[in-house]
């Protein structure tokens, strides 16, 4: 859902169709995905700096 | 300037936070865009969040660093395509099942219809109306009246004497319908002569004299 949102610029309704799940699930997954991505990037940047 | 305090656990903040990714990729409708923009303008947390998302969005996909993302996307596309085939197969199986079910129901309906027809056609021709307890006259050869004081033993003896069998009665006048091995006048006379018998009349047509 992150890739579809940020690199393919799909609206959430369309992502819900693609991954075959409710719109609210897409929103929740993106939210949690962002959090995990932020944590991963932070670790990555922290390690490189 | 009048500041408005927005609690971070408010419904408005939660909703804006959820919709931020699509504000950044520009796919929200006009109403949602206005709503989220208005919130971001007043919420520092969401403002920072939006900036981070824009940075993420601006990351070029063709960057060598994004190669794993491309591979991941290709793998995801394969997975996305696969369920469609499975779904198609599932639909085909369901269709086969539905067709089979339809045939089974049709066969059952045909069998039920055949049984119903057989039931109606197998009925014997309508029998004449017969009241409960009524004995067809054709079964009785004679009608007998026993004496009022006749005992059961006398009645049995009289019947045994001519091998008669009671097939009906007593009638309203106390008479019994009898079946006889033969309804000859001599037989009837023998029955009349029995001590318990008051009268005997043949029910068979008398031959013309």
| Beta carbons of A9 and B25 less than 8 angstroms apart | yes
Q: How far is CA B22 from CA A1, B41, B196, in A?
A: 11, 16, 116
Q: What is the pLDDT of residues A1-49, one digit of tens each?
A: 888 888 888 899 999 988 889 999 999 999 898 888 888 877 766 554 4
| Per-residue pLDDT at A49 | 44
- Residues with Cβ within 8 Å of A4's Cβ and at least 6 positions away in sequence, in order, are A10, A15, A18, A19
Residue spans of beta strands (DSSP E) within chain A: none
Q: What is the model's pLDDT at position B86?
A: 59
Q: Do A10 and B28 touch (CB under 8 A)?
A: no
* pLDDT, one tens digit for every residue, chain B (209 residues): 445 555 666 888 988 989 999 999 899 999 999 999 999 999 988 998 898 888 878 776 655 555 666 677 777 677 766 655 555 666 666 666 667 778 888 898 999 999 888 887 766 555 555 555 555 556 788 889 999 898 989 999 999 999 999 988 888 778 888 999 887 888 899 999 999 899 898 887 665 55
What is the pLDDT at residue B2?
Answer: 46
Which ipTM score applies to this complex? 0.85
From the list A6, A10, A20, which residue is nearest B57 (CB)?
A6
Interface contacts (A, B; CB < 8 Å): 43
Burial class (CB in 10 A: 0-12, 13-18, 19+), B181: exposed
With CB atoms and an 8 Å threshold, state whether A12 touches B56: no
Q: B70-73: long-range contacts (C-beta < 8 A, 24 or more apart)? A: B72/A3, B73/A3, B73/A7
Predicted confidence (pLDDT) per residue in B25-74, tens digit: 899 999 999 999 999 999 988 998 898 888 878 776 655 555 666 677 77
Chain A residues in contact with B17 by the CB 8 A cut-off are: 31
- The answer to whether the Cβ–Cβ distance between A37 and B27 falls below 8 Å is no
Peptide linkage before B83 cis (omega within 30 of 0): no
The model's pTM: 0.41
| pLDDT value at residue A29 | 92
Cα distance between residue A23 and residue A17, in whole Å: 8
A5 touches chain B (CB under 8 A): yes
Output the pLDDT for position A19. 87
pLDDT of residue B1: 46
Angle at B76 between CA A35 and CA A26, to 5 degrees: 45
Q: What pLDDT is recorded for position B34?
A: 94
């Amino acid at each position: 859902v992150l890739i579809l949102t940020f690199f393919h610029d799909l609206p959430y309704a369309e992502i819900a169709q693609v991954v075959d799940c409710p719109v609210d699930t897409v929103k929740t997954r993106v939210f949690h995905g962002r959090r995990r991505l932020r944590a991963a990037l932070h670790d990555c940047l922290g390690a490189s700096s | 300037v009048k500041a408005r305090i927005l609690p971070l656990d408010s419904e408005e903040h939660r909703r804006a936070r959820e919709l931020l990714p699509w504000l950044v990729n520009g796919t929200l409708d006009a109403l949602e865009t206005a709503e989220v923009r208005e919130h971001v303008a007043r919420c520092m947390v969401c403002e920072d969040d939006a900036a981070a998302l824009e940075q993420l969005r601006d990351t070029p996909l063709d960057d060598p660093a994004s190669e794993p993302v491309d591979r991941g996307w290709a793998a995801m596309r394969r997975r996305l395509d696969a369920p469609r085939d499975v779904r198609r197969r599932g639909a085909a199986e369901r269709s086969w099942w539905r067709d089979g079910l339809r045939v089974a129901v049709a066969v059952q309906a045909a069998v039920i219809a055949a049984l119903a027809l057989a039931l109606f056609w197998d009925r014997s021709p309508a029998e004449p109306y017969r009241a409960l307890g009524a004995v067809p006259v054709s079964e009785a050869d004679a009608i007998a009246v026993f004496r009022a004081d006749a005992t059961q033993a006398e009645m049995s003896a009289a019947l045994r004497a001519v091998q008669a069998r009671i097939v009906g009665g007593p009638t309203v006048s106390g008479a019994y319908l009898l079946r006889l091995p033969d309804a000859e006048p001599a037989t009837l006379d023998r029955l009349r002569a029995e001590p318990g018998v008051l009268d005997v009349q043949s029910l068979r047509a008398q031959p013309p004299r």
